[in-house]
Amino acid sequence: MSEPIRVLVTGAAGQIAYSLLYSIGNGSVFGKDQPIILVLLDITPMMGVLDGVLMELQDCALPLLKDVIATDKEEVAFKDLDVAILVGSMPRREGMERKDLLKANVKIFKSQGAALDKYAKKSVKVIVVGNPANTNCLTASKSAPSIPKENFSCLTRLDHNRAKAQIALKLGVTANDVKNVIIWGNHSSTQYPDVNHAKVKLQGKEVGVYEALKDDSWLKGEFVTTVQQRGAAVIKARKLSSAMSAAKAICDHVRDIWFGTPEGEFVSMGVISDGNSYGVPDDLLYSFPVVIKNKTWKFVEGLPINDFSREKMDVTAKELTEEKETAFEFLSSA
């Protein structure tokens, strides 16, 4: 058996974590021979609930779980981490302006970034899920100057998986038969789900999605809006936000960081935009197509971008630039 790795999940008493923790503990993220010390962080009022989650994890009797630590203290939670999955954030309440939401979250992610900087391993991989995920991730990274900014990523894999699933449903294939969809930009309703470079396996051979579907107006219209607004549609139906699908996407994202992406396939994640070749301004946390090898991501280069895509990519970059400016005003005073 290898040495245990320390994995933190924040917002650990919440519903995404409830769907996530078992998958981490049973080896389907870090492999079946990787022991884990699982650290659970939540706010003090949630400690009673967290205790129940701790009991359940113990009752799962998972052989890979060497220890489970539940805490409300950052200095305990962030110590010597190999992986930090930051799920907890301030949710948007009825009547709350996006600006207020940003302000509350800057405070949280500035504090957690500083704790990563102070207590975690410098090689820690940080995955931000809590919304607004891109800007929260940038805030955490800026607050942890001693950790390489490439180690920070935010979750757009849920959007990626949603896009894959919509194409598969439309063509009557499984999601596994669809690859190389892209989510560009912000994890918000301005994100751009792009299938110009996506492939689908039909009767054993790979064809482009546009070619396979022969329905450009759906791909440029309803498909895009369905993926952009899927989160809201789930809330409307369930009266709760996506948890099972979010947890599955987190597992996919972290597993790909850990083990790399399959040959010939790329995935979407929010990463620092520095040095990209797609005309996205530097110093934004923007979702790109990436390939991953040896726990290191690289931009997929050289994809041709048409005018329709360009416009959509610019709209979401503009939103991220505005979010960043608002967040950074608060950051200096937080």
| H-helix segments, 172-306 | 209-213, 216-220, 222-228, 230-238, 244-259
| Residue 6 buriedness (CB in 10 A; 0-12 / 13-18 / 19+) | buried
Asked if residue 306 belongs to a known ligand binding site, the reply is: no
User: Is 253 annotated as catalytic?
Assistant: no
Catalytic residue among 160, 187, 197, 253: 187
Asked if residue 279 belongs to a known ligand binding site, the reply is: no
- Structural contact between residues 19 and 243, judged by C-beta atoms closer than 8 angstroms: yes
| Alpha carbons 159 and 315: distance in angstroms, whole number | 17
| H-helix segments, 97-155 | 98-119, 133-142
User: Which token pair is 12?
Assistant: 């650990």
Angle between helices 98-119 and 307-333 (to 10 degrees): 70
Report the Cα 206 to chain-centroid distance in Å: 28
Asked if residue 252 belongs to a known ligand binding site, the reply is: no
Asked if residue 98 belongs to a known ligand binding site, the reply is: yes
Positive/negative CA dihedral, 228, 256, 313, 207: negative
Q: For residue 148, which amino acid is it?
A: P
Asked if residue 92 belongs to a known ligand binding site, the reply is: yes
Asked if residue 68 belongs to a known ligand binding site, the reply is: no
Asked if residue 260 belongs to a known ligand binding site, the reply is: no
Asked if residue 105 belongs to a known ligand binding site, the reply is: yes
**Strand boundaries in the chain, DSSP class E:** 5-10, 36-41, 65-71, 83-86, 125-128, 152-154, 178-179, 182-184, 192-194, 199-202, 205-208, 267-272, 285-293, 296-299
- Structural contact between residues 185 and 324, judged by C-beta atoms closer than 8 angstroms: no
Q: Which residues carry a binding-site annotation for NAD(+)?
A: 42, 105, 129-131
Q: Which residues carry a binding-site annotation for substrate?
A: 92, 98, 131, 162
Would you please indicate which residues are annotated as catalytic (active-site) residues?
187
